[in-house]
């Protein structure tokens, strides 16, 4: 079963839902976000694990990992999840955590990847799906797809369209491999 970690809009969560993937839980570090509405609309159990409710990040991550494990989750997908995960979480799902990132990593890691690519004046950026480790947008690449920068006005939409196509594909393949 899949667990999805979110922080905001949740359009990648929606793509996973629409692909009919077996999502058993959605965890958000922020309350009131659109991703939680999407989970509710799909009838998927969801919970908020806000940092402010915990003494430290490690304890939050242990609680979140416990909740996911209780729900039978063995593959974790970060879909717009904007916090770094501690080793306390990572060690619970070894080689079973993936992230989608809007650049061709290792180019443009971090939260402003699309703006950074625009500013750097590269001709091509793209999308990466990769395994997660302690680094910021580090970890072994599973799949990448290039996206041309021009026309700039539609770049964000074109990147999201690629994310919404390749993330469910990769997750489906990983589900088959986990079994």
Contact positions vs ligand GRF (CB under 6 A): 8-12, 35, 79-80, 100-102, 163
Contact 145, 166 (CB under 8 A): yes
| Separation CA 98–CA 40 (nearest Å) | 23
CB of 93 vs ligand GRF, minimal distance in Å: 18
Nearer to ligand GRF, 73 or 167 (CB): 167
Q: Which residue is nearest to ligand GRF (CB)?
A: 80
CB of 55 vs ligand GRF, minimal distance in Å: 27
| Separation CA 90–CA 134 (nearest Å) | 8
Sign, Cα dihedral of 30, 130, 161, 72? negative
Kindly list the catalytic residues: 101
Q: Which residues, in sequence order, are bridge partners of residue 98?
A: 77, 131
What count of Cα atoms within 13 Å lies in the side-chain half-sphere of residue 146?
6
Tell me how far apart the terminal alpha carbons of the chain are, to the nearest angstrom: 10
Sign, Cα dihedral of 132, 1, 58, 95? negative
């Amino acid at each position: 079963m899949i667990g999805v970690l979110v922080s905001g809009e949740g359009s990648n969560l929606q793509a996973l839902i629409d692909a009919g993937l077996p999502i058993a839980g959605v965890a958000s570090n922020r309350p009131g976000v659109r991703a939680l509405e999407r989970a509710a609309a799909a009838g998927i159990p969801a919970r908020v694990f806000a940092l402010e409710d915990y003494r430290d990040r490690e304890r939050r991550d242990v609680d979140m990992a416990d909740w996911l494990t209780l729900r039978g989750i063995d593959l974790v997908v970060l879909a717009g999840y904007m916090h770094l995960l501690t080793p306390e979480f990572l060690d619970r799902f070894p080689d079973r955590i993936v992230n989608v990132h809007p650049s061709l990593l290792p180019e443009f890691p971090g939260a402003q990847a699309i703006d950074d690519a625009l500013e750097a004046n590269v001709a091509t950026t793209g999308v990466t799906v990769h395994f997660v480790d302690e680094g910021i947008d580090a970890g072994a690449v599973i799949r990448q797809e290039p996206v041309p920068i021009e026309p700039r006005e539609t770049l964000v939409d074109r990147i999201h369209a690629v994310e919404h196509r390749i993330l469910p594909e990769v997750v489906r393949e990983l589900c088959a491999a986990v079994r």
